[in-house]
Amino acid sequence: MQLRYSFRLYPSAGQRMALARAFGCAQVVYNDALRARETARSEGLPFPKTGDLSKRLITEAKNSPERAWLGDVSAVVLQQSLRDLDTAYRNFFDSLKGKRPRMGAPRYKSRKDTRQSVRFTANARWSITPGQKLRLPKIGDLKVKWSRTLPSTPSTVTVVTDSAGRYFASFVVETGPEEVLPEVAPEVGIDLGLGHFAVLSDGAKVDSPRFLRRAEKRLKKAQRDLSRKKKGSSNRNKARIKVARAHAKVADARREFHHRLSAQLIRENQAIAVEDLAVKGLTRTRLAKSVHDAGWSAFVNMLAYKAARYGRVLIRIGRFEPTSQVCSQCGVKDGPKPLHVRVWTCGACGAVLDRDINAAINIAKAAGLAVTACRAQVRRTSVPAPRSEAGTHPKRPTRLAWEQAGIPGF
C-alpha cells in the first residue's frame, strides 16, 4: 500500500520566495484550466482534454508576455496542477453517480488561501542530497528535519505550507508485505465516547484528553487579540499566525494521541470492532464541540489503514445496533437509557452492568468476535418478580375493588 511520510522543512528567505512563486504559478494554471472548462461547458463545446490544456496554458503561455513568468518554476509543478483539477472533476462526477459521498464541483483557488501545496514527481528530478537536504528544481536545497527513516524510495514529494506558516515535505512511499505483524490471540471491541475516549471490551478505559477544552483559555486570548487588530495591517497578520499556531498545536497533540493509541491497539489485537458513529449528525447537537475535540473519524481511519498495513482485521458494525440497550450477559434488550445512567441492572438476570463496557462487549459480539463478558458484570443482585407475575392483580387494586372483595381495614 502507499503511505505518506511528512517531515518539517526549514527554507531560507530566498527559498520561501521561490516556493511562494511556485504556489502562485500552480494556482494560476489551475484557475485558467478551470475557467477554460467552465467556458466550454457554458457554450456547449466539447470538454477540453488535459493534453490540450497543457499545450495552451503552459507551453504556449510561457511564450506570451502575460504569462512569461510561468517559466520561473518547474514545468512538473504546473502539470501536476492540471492533474489535480482532473482529480477534482473525477471525484465530482463520481459523487453524482453515487460512487462516493456527495461533493461540490471544483472551485477557483484564491491567493488568500492559507494552505498551499505543489507536487514534484520523478520527472522533476528532485533528490535527497548526501547532506540529507531536499533538492528541488528551481528552488534549491531545503533543510529537512528527518524524524524517522523512509521505508523505501519515495515516488513523489509534495511541499505544503499551512495556515501557521510552517512548511512540510510529504513523501509517497510503497510498503510491502514484510510489515505484516505476527498473529496474536486477543480480539477487542471498542466503544467510543466523550466521558472516556475509548472503552474496550476487556474492561480497559482510555481517558479523553480534551485537547481543545484544555487550550480554550489560550485560544480565546489569541482570538481576542486578533479581533482588535486593523484589517490589512501587519499586526493583524502576526496575530492571525498566533491563532493558527495555537490551533495547530491542539491538532498536532490530538493527532499524536490518535496515532499512539491506534498503533497500540493494532499491535496488541488481531481483530478490532468499532461502531459506525453518525459523527455528522452529532456535530449538529449541543455536544458539537466535544465531538470535534474527540476526533473519532480520524481515529477510526487510522485504525483502518494500520490494520490493512499490518495484517489485522477491522470490523465496523451498524450504527443502529442497540449496544447500550442489550445485556451482554443474557442478551435481553432492556430499552433505551438516558446518558446520565452509567451503571444499570438487567431486569432479567440481575447483572449490574457498566454502560460503556457492556456496549463495547456488544460491539465485539455483533462483529462476530470471541470476547468474554466477565468484566461487564459488576455484581449480581436479587431480582424481584415482574409485576405481571407477582400475583393475580398486575395493577394496584382500587378502593372499590377492595370493598367489593370484602377485605376490611382498607
Predicted structure pTM score: 0.81
Q: What is the pLDDT of residue 112?
A: 86
- Amino acid identity, position 275: E
Match 523512509 to its residue by C-alpha cell: 150
Beta strand 2-10 with 140-145 is antiparallel
d(CA 327, CA 171) in angstroms, rounded, equals 48
DSSP letters spanning 358-397: HHHHHHHHHTT-----TTTEEEE---PPPGGGSSS-SSPP
Q: What is the pLDDT of residue 372?
A: 52
Mark 380-398 as b/e (b = at least 16 C-beta within 10 Å).
Answer: eeeeeeeeeeeeeeeeeee
DSSP letters spanning 303-326: HHHHHHHHT-EEEEE-TT--TTTB
Q: What is the pLDDT of residue 116?
A: 93
Distances (CA, A) of 336 to 118, 327, 344, 349, 364: 51, 12, 11, 18, 20
d(CA 357, CA 104) in angstroms, rounded, equals 40
Q: What is the pLDDT of residue 348?
A: 77
Q: What is the pLDDT of residue 218?
A: 93
Contact criterion met (CB below 8 Å) for 274 and 190: yes
- Rounding to the nearest 10 degrees, give the CA dihedral for residues 152, 153, 156, 157: 80
Q: What is the pLDDT of residue 21?
A: 95
| Per-residue pLDDT tens digits of the chain, which is 410 residues long | 888 999 999 999 999 999 999 999 999 999 999 999 999 999 999 989 999 999 999 999 999 999 999 999 999 999 999 999 999 999 999 999 999 988 899 999 998 888 999 999 998 999 999 999 999 999 999 999 999 898 888 999 999 999 999 999 999 998 877 788 899 988 899 989 888 899 998 888 999 999 999 999 999 999 999 999 999 899 999 999 999 999 999 999 999 999 999 999 999 999 999 988 888 888 888 889 999 999 999 999 999 999 988 889 999 988 888 888 888 778 788 778 777 878 878 877 877 888 888 888 888 888 877 665 444 444 443 434 433 333 344 444 455 444 544 444 43
Enzyme catalytic residues: 191, 275, 356
Cell representation of residue 180: 505484516
